[in-house]
Structure 1
Amino acid sequence: MVKRFKVWTYREGEPPFVHEGPIKSIYGIEGYFIQEIQRGNTSFSAAHPDEAHVFFLPISVGNIVSHLYNPLVTYARDQLITTVTNYTDLITHKHPFWNRTNGADHLLLSCHDWAPEISTKNPDKQLYRNIIRALCNANKSEGFNPSRDVSIPEINLRYSESSNPRNGQHPQNRSILAFFAGGIHGSIRKTLIETWKGKDKQLQVYEYLPPNIKYLELMERSKFCLCPSGFEVASPRTVEAIYAGCIPVIIADDYEPPFSDILDWSKFSLHIPSEKISELKVVLQSVEEGEYLRMHRRVLQVQRHFEVNRPSKAYDVFHMILHSVWLRRINISIRS
């Protein structure tokens, strides 16, 4: 893939909706990917569209929402859908590439919760039926198709530089069985907090941390880090846990974890359905010490696949996203 795969980025459009994206916050993966693929010094950037295997629509759903929407006025998605559709119409009328595959070799990437609605609620239901969607909101109950779509990690980029693992404490020094801190966003978190908040010293669940306690330090002292869904299925805590050398406990329904084509998540994480939140402690205590140590070692092994590097490096998150896209692209036939 590294030697062959080429991505052409359409030049049409103007910032901030196109060619730029947020580079900080939980939507920062959008801006990071756009920057890297447009940087020009990556081997994946096609010099000419004729050599491309995939055509990237450099649209930022995060920027569109932040510039066009006032949450106090409306949550209607009409402006978002219209903006993306108009850009796609421009592409399809100006270039021949979309029509060769009905968009099947085209890529749209976004970490914003609203991104799936571009294709599912577009008035032209068939327009995006084939496009490769790289999404953080990888909810199979809402139309995410693992054979066509790519699940990407939600990473809370606090800085514009790289984002790398810290590893945390040695397993023998991790005195906390499990940890979570976060607001009540969605029914799963509500149940988790109502069931476990302040109930058990080994299972430390907070809604808001006291001012003298540091979030990342608790992660680095915990064996397991609870990663419940919020309003949508993805959580930045999953990558934060991996960075801290803490085994992620994904509490979500119908969620497709990132890079599942390559990574066997059962080897370095636990996935607990929301209806078993009351059984959390029993499930975690049932993990034998030897198995826990193996899972911890594998967490450290997969860390490099979630690193954010500027410029990108082999096997990091940028390469993993492109590899997932490549796997879906190789089965697409091009019509001459």
Structure 2
Amino acid sequence: MADRSIHILGLRSSRKPLFLFFGFVALFFAFSWFYFFGFAVGRAPIVGRSVLPSSKILSVVESRDAAPVTEIAGLEDPQCDPERALLKVFMYDLPAEFHFGLLGWSSKGGEVWPDVKEKIPDYPGGLNLQHSIEYWLTLDLLSSRFSDRSGPCTAVRVDDSRQADVIFVPFFSSLSYNRHSKVTPPMKVSTNKMLQDKLVRFLISQEEWKRSGGRDHVVMAHHPNSMLDARMKLWPCVFILSDFGRYPPTIANVEKDVIAPYKHVVSTFVNDSSGFDDRPTLLYFQGAIYRKDGGFIRQELYYLLREEKDVHFSFGSIQANGIKDSTRGMRASKFCLNIAGDTPSSNRLFDAIASHCVPVIISDDIELPYEDILDYSKFCIFVRTSDALKKNFLLKLVREISKEEWTQMWKRLKEVEGYFEYSFPSQKDDAVQMIWQAVARKVPEIKLKLHRYKRFSRSDADR
């Protein structure tokens, strides 16, 4: 028989030994890779903070089946661990006149903060509530290190500002504007302006401000008229706003700041089974019709739509039974108009979401909460102002949306409504947690600005 052996690596070997040789090599590499990955996975620490916080968040909002941020970050422990939280926050201990003192709370023993385990100071109702984010975020930080905390812990308060990702300024600026913007004789300036002046003086004197120039400071100014006197002086800060309608782009912009949802004033539609055929009104709007600035479109649309039989377009307010009327009207409507008013945004969008009434947004300059990770086109209709003012354009657009398409948007509204709900204690992926996550996604940009800010710190100090 002919010699069937071949020469490999200087050895003479038959085909059977050759097969065994390659099998051994393959097995060796397989075990090597298995060992490597097993070691890496088995030894990898739970990552609570990332250089890019958004990497843990991007997929969370798009699907309710996705793992929540708290599970990804390993934050289901009863107590918030600063080392495992998504965001470390240092909060100034401002005097009570800047926060809960505006609600009538006063310290009895020199405490800076109320004992929120015992009693939470009440926040005023009505339209005050729509800009109450300052209240909910501050409560969340105050409770972030409770040993029996049952809610999620996206942001945790730390005692050392040098360990913090951001510096939180607990000034209830919207409440200050709503309650104290008028000058009361014999005072020559309003309490609201006085507080803003005091705040600016306080901030620029702090070591934290001197280290960063304010770039890592988070300031709440949700009401469009809040912080009017101080905003130009605090321009480096991260503002939490409802929109950019009354800000120049050098002071506030989407790259630097965070848009937070209004707190809706209508009640949430629980156990909603009212589908397409159960909502007789095609298009709904109730609110102030005659507005200034970009709100001129409201009156134009009123004249275009008021005679349509399946459209409800009327004046309304929160007075008398206004909120109850709006609740009933939105729940009985397929589409709800959200039209620009004095500023690009309004609470009406979030009332519509809570009512599962598909929002029709007519506001060319509107900015929306969490839009970097949430696709609003899946549950909202967007219409340019110029198109909306064309005769029959708007009605033709919404009437052409099929029952099947509307139902998909209605279902999506019910999936995302929790992202716009404020609560204390905060719940997983509610508005409080979503705002903190949005702030966390700003941290890489904040750090970049801080590093650039420090480039010439040595030479500046020598001048």
Q: TM-score range by the shorter chain?
A: 0.7 to 0.9
Q: Which of 133, 150, 154 is the aligned partner of 1:29?
A: 133
Query: Structure 2 vs 1, CA of residues 154 and 289 (structure 1 numbering), >3 Å: closer, same or farther?
Result: same
**Which amino acid in the other structure matches residue 137 of structure 1?**
D
C-alpha separation in 2, matches of 1:142 and 1:271: 24
Rounded to whole Å, the distance in 2 between the matches of 1:77 and 1:260 is: 39
Count of aligned pairs between the two proteins: 323
Q: Pick from 207, 218, 225: which aligns with 2:315?
A: 207
The answer as to whether partners of 1:164 and 1:308 remain within 8 angstroms in 2 is no
Q: Per-residue deviation at 1:190?
A: 2.1
- Write the mapping of 1:117-266 to structure 2, written as runs, cut at 5 A: 117-118=228-229, 122=232, 127-139=233-245, 142-143=248-249, 144-157=252-265, 164-166=268-270, 168=272, 169-186=274-291, 187-197=296-306, 199-208=307-316, 214-266=325-377
- 1:317 counterpart = 2:438: no
Q: Does 1:58 align with 2:170?
A: yes
More off after superposition, 147-156 vs 109-118:
109-118
Indicate which of 70, 73, 89 corresponds to 2:201. 89
Deviation at 1:253, TM superposition (A): 2.5
Question: Structure 2 vs 1, CA of residues 304 and 171 (structure 1 numbering), >3 Å: closer, same or farther?
Answer: same
Give the SS at the match of 1:36. Answer: helix
User: How far does residue 255 in structure 1 lie from its aligned partner after superposition?
Assistant: 0.9
| 8 Å CA contact retained: 1:229, 1:235 | yes
Determine the structure 2 residue equivalent to 1:46: 157
Distance 1:141 1:231 in 2: 13
Partner of 2:20: none
Aligned-partner SS, 2:96: coil
> Aligned partners of 1:232, 1:70: CA distance in 2, in Å?
21
Do the aligned partners of 1:312 and 1:319 also contact (CA within 8 Å) in 2?
A: yes
Letter in 1 for 2:401: V
Q: Which one of the candidate residues 391, 394, 402 is aligned to 1:280?
A: 394
CA distance in structure 2 between the aligned counterparts of 1:87 and 1:19, rounded to whole angstroms: 15
Structure 2 SS opposite 1:45: strand
The alignment partner of 1:66 has SS state of helix
Does residue 1:15 correspond to 2:79, yes or no? Answer: no
1:320 aligns to what SS in structure 2? Answer: helix
CA RMSD, 1 decimal: 3.1
Q: 1:211: how far off?
A: 7.3
The whole-number CA distance in structure 1 between the counterparts of 2:238 and 2:410 is 33
Give the secondary structure class of the aligned counterpart of 2:445: coil
Identity of aligned residues (%): 22
What is the CA-CA distance between 1:319 and the residue it aligns to?
A: 0.6
Q: Deviations over 1:19-69 (max 9, x none)?
A: 756553322233222222233447323231233211111112223223432
Say if 1:216 and 1:239 are closer, same or farther in 2 by CA, change over 3 A: same
Report the Cα offset of residue 245 of structure 1: 1.1
Determine helix, strand or coil for the equivalent of 2:395. helix
Distance 2:420 2:269 in 1: 9
TM-score computed with the length of structure 2 as normaliser: 0.63
Larger mean Cα displacement after TM superposition, 178-187 or 20-29: 20-29
CA distance in 2 between partners of 1:252 and 1:77 (Å)? 35
SS in 1 for 2:236: coil
In the TM superposition, structure 1's runs of 4+ consecutive aligned residues that sit over 4 Å from their partners are 16-23, 76-82, 209-213
Any idea what SS the aligned residue of 2:356 has? coil
How far apart, CA to CA, are the structure 1 residues paired with 2:298 and 2:394? 13
Letter in 2 for 1:233: P
Give the aligned residue type for 1:207. Answer: F
Cα distance, 1:9–1:185 mapped onto 2, change above 3 Å: farther
Q: Is residue 225–residue 241 contact of structure 1 (8 Å, CA) maintained in 2?
A: yes
Letter in 1 for 2:263: I
Please give the secondary structure, in 1, of the residue aligned with 2:300. Answer: helix
> Would the aligned equivalents of 1:203 and 1:281 in 2 still touch at CA under 8 Å?
no
Asked if the contact 2:139–2:424 (Cα under 8 Å) also holds between the matched residues in 1, the reply is: no
Secondary structure of residue in 2 paired with 1:111: coil
Cα pair distance change 1:71/1:296, threshold 3 Å: farther
SS in 2 for 1:234: coil
Quick check: 2:142–2:157 contact (8 Å CA) kept in 1? no
Q: Which has the larger radius of gyration?
A: 2
The answer for the alignment partner of 2:444 in structure 1 is 330
Gap runs ≥5 in structure 2 = 1-48, 50-69, 71-84, 104-122, 455-463
